[in-house]
Structure 1
Amino acid sequence: MKKITAVVLLATSFLAFSQQKNQAKLKYFSTKDKTITVYTTAENTDLRLTQTDKLNFGTSKQPLETEISVFVEPTKMFQKFMGIGGAITDASGEVFAKLSKEKQQEFLNAYYDKEKGIGYSLLRTTIHSSDFSSGSYTYIKEGDTDLKTFNIDHDKQYRIPMIKEAIKTAGGKLLLYVSPWSPPAFMKSNGNMLKGGALLPEYYQSWANYYTKFIKAYEKEGMPIWGITVQNEPMATQTWESCVYSAEAERDFLKNFLGPTMKKQGLGDKKIVVWDHNRDLMNHRANVIFSDPEASKYAWGMGFHWYETWAGGAPMFDNVRKVHEAYPSKNLLFTEGCVERFDAKKYQLWANGERYGTSMINDFNNGTVGWTDWNILLDQNGGPNHVGNFCFAPIHADTNSGELIYTPSYYYIGHFSKFIRPDAKRISTAVSRSSLISTSFLNTDGKMVTVVMNQSDKKVTYNLIIATEKTVVIIPAHGIQTLVY
């Protein structure tokens, strides 16, 4: 009994010491001698990620109800930040290839250079074709169940060269993950890569093998793959490449085929992301897959998109928080978002950028670790897209003039990706009025980054309050600011 008591006391003491050590780590951030650099982007101004102020901290007292304040509490840390990025699709690769060498370099710097651009650190790409390809294709001959004809030659023309250039511009490292839109037609219930259908049970193993072939082929080309999603938008019957999985079907494919096959092929370290669809049904999918121990052990986490607004409602940010609360050991990754229904007259529509800012702040505050935009580059028609599903990208290229068109979305994303770096920790942040929304991250170099977005039609003067210190900041109407200190 004495021995057991001693062991318990020792364990308790060790736990207490560890907690004290962690608390000590949490409290190291201080505003002492810090200056705040403010970067601003705002509608009806020339401000685009522009340094607009250098501020100092002063003494803070109880804020009044008539004041607007942003409260940051550095001792309260949450999820580790993975990164921000976008997808290099076939469409992006084809448009990129049409640019001059000078414009290609400008484009690469704009996204992937931390100093000249906005410092993307994530990259998503597709396993064979999606709607943002010039046509449907796979990496095998139709009917090749054994995958003997598998090759990625198609991707070597446009997509792979662009990915390699992106990695090079980012300093030699990008976290790359991949998603399929549809299995080959012969593996599906409708015999078609387009218009939904389901993966036929007799091809579960062959399709699981296909992922591993893709990963190994890309890695052989010098592009390390971090992970995969099981299926892009598994509840949507689209006019383009799509494949429907119920929650139970995805669970069983993951636990009986994909997970074990990845492990058997020596790819057990690759992350597997489930769902990869909208916020509306994500809680049900999480309940079905994460509550099954055999399936859950293969799932790193859940990916989600923002298109639940297709039904006319508002974005369902709270569902992200509820998954995080229910399954705190699982990671949440925003895997796709874009502004739909391309219209060249709306290149500079400010609401498009604000949609990004609103989503990113809410998703991060609800526990999301990384955020991935859809196509990083499209042409002046919002494509190419082989089924006419033309959309916006943060940057477009007019292939007639050879010029690049930067939209508000690019700058809004940049207020996060340029300043919040991988391995940062999210910090407790709250605002006192609904005109503003905000999030904060502490980078590994000790720099705090607070992003503040003004959703109102008027400029707002607000306090940034940290413990007993504060500064006063002015943000323009429909503006976004990043404060680095």
Structure 2
Amino acid sequence: MKKNTLKFLCFLFTVSALAQQTKAKKEFTTNGKKITVYTTAENTNLRLTSTDNLSFSASKQPLETEISVFVEPTKKFQTFMGIGGAITDASAEIFAKLSKEKQTEFLNAYYDKQKGIGYSLLRTTIQSSDFSSGSYSYIKEGDKELKTFSIDHDRQFRIPLIKQAIQTAGGKLLTYAAPWSPNAFMKSNGNVLKGGTLLPEYYQTWANFYVKFIKEYEKEGIPIWGTSTQNEPMAVQTWESCIYTAEAERDFIKNFLGPTLKKEKLGDKKIIVWDHNRDLMNYRANVIYSDPEAAKYVWGMGFHWYENWSGGDSMFDNVAKVNEAYPDKKLLFTEGCVEKFDAAKYQFWGNGERYGISMINDFNNGTVGWTDWNILLDQNGGPNHVGNFCFAPIHADTTTGELIYTPSYYYIGHFSKFIRLNAKRVSTAVSRSGLLSTSFLNTDGTMATIVMNKTDKEITYNLIIATEKTVVKIPAHAIQTLVY
């Protein structure tokens, strides 16, 4: 008996030792690793350019006069879901005007992991938005039963581009959709434009509309991962818009959208609430998430970056506070672009830096994915049927057929090209305010640390991990990705 007990104890010890070894193997280490540095910098030709190959050496307590980035790989946070952009009608219409050669270049630039920046997320619209050549609907006005529902409009430009993007991305792009407005007959103002609210007698009709959209897109071979309730539900816009208070959105989800998706065997589709700026996101979270019957249908919260329309600063802390209060719900950046198009500012560096600042802050505050707005616009910042012209990371000059890459494209690429799906964010901090930084540990064991210098001077900094460090130089107004 004692002999069998001893054998069993030896067996347990062996299993435990093997488990510890396996765990040890999975822990990140700098041993023998080289650091490849990729740099994009103002007033240089550096654009996602490999600029250095470095090694780790022994580290000790840094001085206050040194600038350092500290990475602690054992402290892991949210799982990375992806980075991408929106395929709007505007993007698809301009894409169709490009030559086949330029179309291939464009698709590779965004969706190919080697030739481009490896987008893995895709947002699109349910019916028209301001970034369409005009307003349109999938049904005839007044069709409460949705008998005339058809996505034929999207089959001309938008669906073909989405399919090519998915193919270029290797056959998979996590795709979600958002409505800008219900049909005029369903709304209090009788207009798809200029706000208004969804009339209570059409709540079920509108919930059925989401089901129709999802099923029709999936028949086209475009899997829909999820939907937001409403794009920018607190903004009365001159374009397609609809107002939901937090209480109205809560009740629509709880009593109509959530149950309807479940009944139609679409309960796996994710529902994103808010889909608006950071300023009021905490109130929306408090109202919806405090109702368990509504919250059970909600995957998480989407947010935009336009809260500075009032003249204030970006409200990054609000993202962290929602994450702190509701850690079981996800956060997804669903839209951002540089407003007020001006062709003289194609290469304005501050536009790219706006992306870098936002992405680093949003990821450090718990965001799992980040989605830009239009992936492509023309030389006028459109088409847009209400004159709301904006910037995109890539523009096409339809008179010359050329593609114009802006700094924003490269800043986004410093994240999307090197952080892979299911990576884990790890603890990262900087010792001086001139630098911003975030890090993600990829599933293959490589780390991607993004460092941004928003100052006018070159900075030399330490990258310190435990007892190892390397010393890096970053030019003025530059962003780097360190892969190791």
Equivalent residue runs for 1:325-474 within 5 Å: 325-474=324-473
Question: Which secondary structure state, in structure 2, belongs to the residue aligned with residue 281 of structure 1?
Answer: helix
Question: Which secondary structure state, in structure 1, belongs to the residue aligned with residue 210 of structure 2?
Answer: helix
2: CA distance between counterparts of 1:193 and 1:199? 10
2: CA distance between counterparts of 1:87 and 1:123? 6
Give TM-score scaled by structure 2 length. 0.95
Q: Give the structure 1 partner of residue 319 of structure 2.
A: 320
Q: Spell out, residue by residue over 1:172-230, the C-alpha distance to the aligned partner (whole angstroms, 9 max, x if none).
A: 00000000000001000000000000000000000000000000000000000000000
Q: Give the structure 2 partner of residue 68 of structure 1.
A: 67
* 8 A contact 1:141–1:149 mirrored in 2: yes
Following superposition, the deviation at residue 152 of structure 1 comes to 0.2
* Unaligned runs of at least 5 residues, structure 2: 1-15
CA 1:91–1:26 in structure 2 vs 1: closer, same or farther (change >3 Å)? farther
CA 1:308–1:25 in structure 2 vs 1: closer, same or farther (change >3 Å)? farther
Question: Which secondary structure state, in structure 1, belongs to the residue aligned with residue 334 of structure 2?
Answer: strand
AA partner of residue 289 (structure 2)? F
Q: Give the structure 1 partner of residue 102 of structure 2.
A: 103
2: CA distance between counterparts of 1:195 and 1:453? 39
Q: Spell out, residue by residue over 1:331-370, the C-alpha distance to the aligned partner (whole angstroms, 9 max, x if none).
A: 0000000000000000000000000000000000000000
Following superposition, the deviation at residue 65 of structure 1 comes to 0.1
Is 1:304 paired with 2:303?
yes
2: CA distance between counterparts of 1:227 and 1:446? 30
Following superposition, the deviation at residue 25 of structure 1 comes to 6.5
AA partner of residue 229 (structure 1)? S
AA partner of residue 153 (structure 1)? D
Question: Which secondary structure state, in structure 1, belongs to the residue aligned with residue 415 of structure 2?
Answer: helix
Q: Spell out, residue by residue over 1:227-263, the C-alpha distance to the aligned partner (whole angstroms, 9 max, x if none).
A: 0000000000000000000000000000000000000
Q: Give the structure 2 partner of residue 180 of structure 1.
A: 179
Q: Give the structure 1 partner of residue 55 of structure 2.
A: 56
CA 1:158–1:25 in structure 2 vs 1: closer, same or farther (change >3 Å)? farther
Q: Spell out, residue by residue over 1:437-462, the C-alpha distance to the aligned partner (whole angstroms, 9 max, x if none).
A: 00000001100000000010000000
Is 1:44 paired with 2:43?
yes
Question: Which secondary structure state, in structure 1, belongs to the residue aligned with residue 331 of structure 2?
Answer: strand
1: CA distance between counterparts of 2:22 and 2:414? 29
Following superposition, the deviation at residue 24 of structure 1 comes to 3.8
CA 1:390–1:53 in structure 2 vs 1: closer, same or farther (change >3 Å)? same
AA partner of residue 462 (structure 2)? N
Question: Which secondary structure state, in structure 2, belongs to the residue aligned with residue 280 of structure 1?
Answer: helix
Question: Which secondary structure state, in structure 1, belongs to the residue aligned with residue 227 of structure 2?
Answer: strand
Residue identity (%):
81
Q: Spell out, residue by residue over 1:117-158, the C-alpha distance to the aligned partner (whole angstroms, 9 max, x if none).
A: 000000000001000000001100000000000010000000
AA partner of residue 390 (structure 2)? C
- How many equivalent residue pairs? 467
AA partner of residue 54 (structure 1)? N
Is 1:134 paired with 2:133?
yes
AA partner of residue 127 (structure 2)? H
Question: Which secondary structure state, in structure 2, belongs to the residue aligned with residue 255 of structure 1?
Answer: helix
- Runs ≥4 residues deviating over 3 A: 20-27
CA 1:437–1:26 in structure 2 vs 1: closer, same or farther (change >3 Å)? farther
RMSD of equivalent CA atoms: 1.2
Q: Spell out, residue by residue over 1:25-81, the C-alpha distance to the aligned partner (whole angstroms, 9 max, x if none).
A: 697100000000000000000000000000000000100000000000000000000
Q: Spell out, residue by residue over 1:310-350, the C-alpha distance to the aligned partner (whole angstroms, 9 max, x if none).
A: 00000000000000000000000000000000000000000
AA partner of residue 50 (structure 1)? T
Q: Give the structure 2 partner of residue 263 of structure 1.
A: 262
* 8 A contact 1:26–1:76 mirrored in 2: no
Following superposition, the deviation at residue 23 of structure 1 comes to 11
Q: Give the structure 2 partner of residue 282 of structure 1.
A: 281
2: CA distance between counterparts of 1:252 and 1:183? 17
AA partner of residue 148 (structure 2)? T
Q: Give the structure 2 partner of residue 14 of structure 1.
A: none
Give TM-score scaled by structure 1 length. 0.95
2: CA distance between counterparts of 1:291 and 1:476? 47
* 8 A contact 1:435–1:456 mirrored in 2: yes
Q: Give the structure 1 partner of residue 6 of structure 2.
A: none
